Amino acid sequence: MTGFRNDRAAAEFAALRALSARVGADPLLVQAAGGNTSLKDDGVLWIKASGTWLMHAGRDDIFVPVKMPPLLQAVADLDPAAEKAEAFVVADLNPLGLRPSIETTVHALMPQRVVVHVHCVETISLAVRSDAETVVGERLRGLDWVFVPYCRPGLPLARAIAERRGRETNVLVLGNHGLVVAADTVAETEDLLARVCDLLARTPRPAPQADTDALLRLAAGSNYRLPASPEAHAAASDPASCQIAAGGTLYPDHVIFLGEGSVVAAPGETAQAVVHRLAAEGRDAPMSILFPGKGVLMRNDANAGAEALARCLADVTARIDEHASLHYLGAADAHQLLNWDAEKYRQELTRRMEAARQ
């Protein structure tokens, strides 16, 4: 990769790619095409491309160079062009024609040279609580951090961050969304990420083993199958997790890859019966179905992104106190996400990646 002013900057970029691959390979930090990382150098922001997977950073060119000064001016002017940031890409250094991450404005507004944004399940499980700012504050005491209530990812979130962060703020906890850490070197950023995740970590609630025999019987004659990840079953086999999931949508990527909320089967209902019930209500066949006390079934055409988010639901809900008051995303939030061009683009790239594998 060319375009860096010196060998030191190029070495930092290589370190960022290595960190991105490590982070992206950890399902407790990043799921599917979620999360993004960046490096600023000589007025250019190198940001993960929309729809690409961080875990592939070591083998693929997944970063896009974006000119910082005009992008920041567009944010200040509330220019809609800042939302996609495509107008600010350094075309000569983007031979693949990649599109900047939907979070490009967030990275640009952080003054630190290196920024890492993850959908850490430890963070999300606290950030969905109604008292998130208080409980997180107890764990991150002594750090320069801020809590940002849920906003649609992209420019609205960037504006909310700009209003709340201080000059030295290097940790952002995003309501119903995830975690951002920033520092001036890749090594410092990785150390900060590890420290914050350790401070927010809790032991997940143990879940009963999935009843796969029962699930296969419930899937008979339907367009459903067992999930790729056995860990996904815990969202349904554990009663507390299932009840939490049934309450609604907890974070944006759930909407994007699994649909709004979680579909829970009634006692005795088969997968086919669930589909018929929803069809009578004018609803599509769900990407996943939770069978309380048994486990989860996935639609046959569920892609890698949906599979990753099915496991994420289990990982997040297992860490939520069953007695906590939670803030779920509303129908308007889901509608915003599902009809947002940036997310449609990200989903299309996921479909293309699946097709290429077959």
**In a shared domain, residues 116 and 250:** no
Q: What is the CATH number of the domain that holds 50?
A: 3.40.225.10
Note whether 335 and 262 are same-domain residues.
yes
The verdict on 254 and 301 lying in the same domain is: yes
CA distance 93 to 42: 14
Q: Edge-to-edge strand order for the sheet containing 295-299? A: 224-225, 295-299, 288-291, 263-264
Domain-embedded: residue 2: no
Residue of 238, 260, 243, 263 lying closest to 251 (CA atoms): 260
The answer on 340 and 291 residing in a single domain is yes
DSSP category for residue 232: G
**Looking at the structure, do residues 180 and 249 belong to the same domain, yes or no?**
no
User: 55 in helix, strand or coil?
Assistant: helix
Choose one of 141, 173, 200: the last residue of a domain: 200
Q: Please tell me whether residues 155 and 73 are part of one structural domain.
A: yes
What is the reported pLDDT for 144? Answer: 97
CB 250 within 8 A of CB 124: yes
Indicate whether 241 belongs to any domain. yes
- The span from the first CA to the last CA of the chain, in angstroms, equals 29
Same domain, 152 and 221: no
Distance from C-alpha of 328 to C-alpha of 312, rounded to nearest angstrom: 16
207: in domain: no
Estimate the crossing angle of helix 304-317 against helix 341-357, to 10 degrees: 110
Q: How many domains does the chain have?
A: 2
pLDDT per residue of the chain (358 residues) written in tens, 0 to 9? 467 778 888 999 999 999 999 999 999 999 999 999 999 999 999 999 999 999 999 999 999 999 999 999 999 998 989 988 999 999 999 999 999 998 999 999 999 999 999 999 999 999 999 999 999 999 999 999 999 999 988 888 989 999 999 989 999 999 999 999 999 999 999 999 999 999 999 999 999 999 999 999 999 999 999 999 999 999 999 999 999 999 999 999 999 999 999 999 999 999 999 999 999 999 999 999 999 999 999 999 999 999 999 999 999 999 999 999 999 999 999 988 888 665 555 555 555 555 555 4
Is the separation of the CB atoms in 157 and 337 below 8 Å?
Answer: no
Within this chain, do residues 93 and 73 fall inside the same structural domain, yes or no?
yes
Letter string b/e over residues 249-280, b meaning 16 or more CB atoms within 10 A of that residue's CB = bbbbbbbbbbbbbbbbbeeebbbbebbeeeee
Single-letter residue type at 270: T
Asked whether residue 196 falls in the same domain as residue 229, the answer is no
Same domain, 166 and 223: no
- Note down the domain range covering 133: 7-200
DSSP-derived letter for residue 231 is: G
Could you tell me if 157 and 282 lie in one domain? no
